[in-house]
Structure 1
Amino acid sequence: MFTCCPRRAGAPPGSGPMEPGQLARRGLNIVLISRDPSKLEHEAKEIERLYGRSTRVIQADFTGGLEIYEPIEAGLKDLEIGILVNNVAKQYADNLGKLLDFEDTAQKLSDIINCNMMSVVQMTRIVLPQMVTRRKGIIINISSIVDRNPFPFIAMYGATKAFVRSFSASLKAEYSSEGVLVQTVSPFIVETNMTLAMKNRFLVVNAHDFARQALDTLGLTSYTPGCLRHALQGLLLAIFLPSWFCCSREGVKLLSLFANWSREQSLPRRTR
């Protein structure tokens, strides 16, 4: 039985919200899909060394269009995929900002849509038929806490994650009677290469701990923040930063200050 993990390219082992090492630790073989073959091979070897599980890598850039999915489908053809983890996502840049604040806007918007939305749908299309045939399978779609409400300064990212949440809920309704479990995981901030310099602080959960806790919720709930700390953070966010306030003039001013702070945080990283 294999777990298929489309994921961010260039991330070291254990750096994604649903890190594949936790799945390998639970006895599953792993298929990693991303755009950098050398880094994929390195991670695959680490998984084999640490957990003794079989691995396979497939190169694909999820910002591409339909043309990338035929090779993926061919690479998975002979495998029995028990769990699909849609764990790939992209933001405008390292920092927050308005829709038109970044260079090459047209390409960036297209990349975000392909990476964050089309990848979830197309990978589901590829893997779901064999799960239905077996009447058994799990699909885990990684969303974000911002899938709940509109969120200025990450407009496209939040909108794509709202799509992931809605798609997952509908997919669950359609296929739960055929033995397919669909879960949406909507974390707050996990320690990954998308979280700037915000590492090991109160708001940030270590990727290893997050994946372990999130996997423990499988079969218990179809929608989860992934861990207790993020559940509490989500509750506080809903109380102190409700949707109506986020989109109000005062809320936008507050979020603008946070966006400016995030840009300052990312400057040291870009100059290293």
Structure 2
Amino acid sequence: MELLLQQLFIVLGLLFCLRLALKCLGFSKYLFPRLWGVLPPSFFQSLGKWAVVTGAGDGIGKAYSIELANRGMNIVMISRTLEKMQRVAMEIEQTTGRNVKIIQADFTKNKIYEHIEECLKELEIGILVNNVGMLPSPHPCCFLTGPDNDESLINCNVTSAVKMTRIILKQMKQRRKGLILNISSAFGSFPCPLYAIYSASKAFVTTFSKALQAEYKSKGIIIQAVTPYGVSTPMTKNPSTNIITKSSRDFVRESLNHVAQGSETFGCIAHAALGCIINHIPLWVIHSTRVQEFCLHIINRKQNKE
């Protein structure tokens, strides 16, 4: 019996060490990206002539539009904010010389995709960035306390990714190449109180991306969920940047270095490190009433100061 217990503990110890080694190996892609392969400068252009970015008028979508243009792509910007897109388009055309096409569409609505598909006809699309998204309320809150905008949020966060992927994946499959980046959130990696519907919508995006990558990786197509923590954008009320909270431009630049490194990425080393810490916190701690009350107290104090 004693020998059996010794063998059991040895096996458990080996499994723990193996799990730790795999974690370290995964983390090394952020520390030593060159060991995982450096993308050639022509990589993005080799996928196709055009990149389509949703929610492109501001924040992360704007940053992807500018950065992909800097890397040689023509850009299709899709958003409901026409004036913002026009300003970004002018900046891209003047600084990079790339072509920009603008499509105005409100992703909280469902009757937009036929128009979008018609506008994208005849374009050789190599990259799709499903970035558009929304929070149910400006600040974290309990489900019943927040506004009743569930349909708009699901259309924007979930339906948009599915519909846009269906439109563009067809031609990528025919050409046997393409890149789809689905901008999710680290809050989708666990059931996050005070962000219940947002967390659930992003969990869908991450799972959807991973399943599609398994289906289409043999067709030469990369489909990746990007799951950041803090990024300073208008949606998050533009918080000050620091070691964790990245500017949109810095986050996008770093995340594009990891597009060929698996079906999910935190996008940057700081968020990967934070993810390692949070993933080891027991879920019962995060879900405890005291933690939620403390978070709401901090939020209320911040709102009162504002």
Give the TM-score normalised by structure 2: 0.80
Gaps of at least 5 residues in structure 2 are: 1-48
Higher helix share: 2
Residue in 2 that maps onto 1:158:
199
Residue in 1 that maps onto 2:141:
97
Equivalent AA in structure 2 for residue 170 of structure 1: A
Equivalent AA in structure 2 for residue 163 of structure 1: F
Q: Give runs of aligned pairs for residues 169-180 of structure 1, distance below 5 A.
A: 169-180=210-221
Verify the 8 A CA contact 2:185 2:202 in the aligned structure 1: yes
Task: Show CA shifts across 1:202-232 (max 9, x none).
Answer: 4301111111110001112221100000001
Give the Cα separation in 2 of the matches to 1:268 and 1:4: 40
Residue in 2 that maps onto 1:40:
85
Instruction: Count residues with an aligned counterpart.
Output: 258
Instruction: Kindly indicate whether residue 105 of structure 2 is the aligned counterpart of residue 60 of structure 1.
Output: yes
Task: Show CA shifts across 1:145-204 (max 9, x none).
Answer: 111110100000000000001100111111111111101110001111122252113430
- What is the Cα deviation at residue 38 of structure 1? 1.6
Residue in 2 that maps onto 1:5:
53
Identity %: 40
Matched position secondary structure for 1:53 = coil
Matched position secondary structure for 1:70 = helix
Gaps of at least 5 residues in structure 1 are: none
Verify the 8 A CA contact 2:63 2:248 in the aligned structure 1: yes
85-94 or 196-205, which moves further after superposition? 196-205
Matched position secondary structure for 1:138 = strand
Instruction: Kindly indicate whether residue 303 of structure 2 is the aligned counterpart of residue 262 of structure 1.
Output: no
Equivalent AA in structure 1 for residue 184 of structure 2: S
Verify the 8 A CA contact 1:17 1:190 in the aligned structure 2: no
Give the TM-score normalised by structure 1: 0.89
- What is the Cα deviation at residue 8 of structure 1? 5.8
Give the Cα separation in 1 of the matches to 2:103 and 2:304: 33
Residue in 2 that maps onto 1:133:
174
Change (3 A) 1:21 1:86: same
Matched position secondary structure for 1:216 = helix
Matched position secondary structure for 1:82 = strand
Residue in 1 that maps onto 2:228:
187
Change (3 A) 1:198 1:265: farther
Verify the 8 A CA contact 1:153 1:256 in the aligned structure 2: no
Equivalent AA in structure 2 for residue 259 of structure 1: L
- What is the Cα deviation at residue 50 of structure 1? 2.0
Verify the 8 A CA contact 2:243 2:270 in the aligned structure 1: no
Equivalent AA in structure 1 for residue 245 of structure 2: V
- What is the Cα deviation at residue 260 of structure 1? 3.7
Change (3 A) 1:8 1:23: closer
Give the Cα separation in 2 of the matches to 1:234 and 1:72: 36
Give the Cα separation in 2 of the matches to 1:234 and 1:227: 11
Verify the 8 A CA contact 1:152 1:252 in the aligned structure 2: no
Change (3 A) 1:38 1:149: same
Q: Which has the higher contact order (CA 8 A, sep 6+)?
A: 1
Verify the 8 A CA contact 1:6 1:33 in the aligned structure 2: yes
Equivalent AA in structure 1 for residue 289 of structure 2: V
Instruction: Kindly indicate whether residue 111 of structure 2 is the aligned counterpart of residue 74 of structure 1.
Output: no
Q: Which has the larger radius of gyration?
A: 2
What RMSD in Å do the two structures reach over aligned CA positions?
A: 1.8
